[in-house]
Amino acid sequence: MFTIIKNSVLSISFVFLATSCNAQSTKSGYEDKKVEDVIEMSEQRNVVMIDVRTPGEVANGYLKGTDHFFDISSPNFSKNIDQLDRNKTYVLICASGARSQKAARYMLEQGFGNVVNMSGGMRMVRNADYISR
């Protein structure tokens, strides 16, 4: 009897955990993608890549194919974002993934539907062939 109850509790816990994880991944509204996936996406016509780092960080190198450099700490950031076509797919890039997540949330709040965060940011770029200076 104890084994049955123990197994039932474990099963319920697993289902709850799996449901919680799913809710967190869809709750953000944007997708997290690895560097390699972002590189592939950059070749698509409807994809726009935006680096949200500071000009000093960008000067040290940026991902090839980046279309815009909108420093998220700049007072012009929201104005720059608001001028973009909401029907395109946007990939956001920063140093570690934190500022690009913040930018992704902002874009979703502004009515953008297809937003991708490059998880881990530029620190995850291991292949120098992906970087421009």
Which CATH number belongs to the domain containing residue 119 in this structure? Answer: 3.40.250.10
Please pick, among 94, 118, 122, 125, the residue that the annotation labels catalytic.
94
Domain membership flag for residue 40:
yes
Domain membership flag for residue 24:
no
C-alpha dist (Å) from residue 22 to 6, 9, 89:
24, 20, 23
Residue-number span of the structural domain to which 118 is assigned: 30-132
Question: Can you tell me the mean pLDDT for 60-87?
Answer: 97
What is the rounded distance in angstroms from the CA atom of residue 126 to the CA atom of residue 124?
Answer: 6
- 21 as an active site residue: the answer is no
- Give the end-to-end CA distance of the chain in Å, rounded to a whole number: 67
- pLDDT: is 49 or 9 the higher one? 49
Number of domains comprising the chain: 1
Domain membership flag for residue 105:
yes
Residue 4: the pLDDT is: 53
Domain membership flag for residue 94:
yes
Q: What is the pTM of this model?
A: 0.79
What is the rounded distance in angstroms from the CA atom of residue 89 to the CA atom of residue 109?
Answer: 15
Domain membership flag for residue 44:
yes
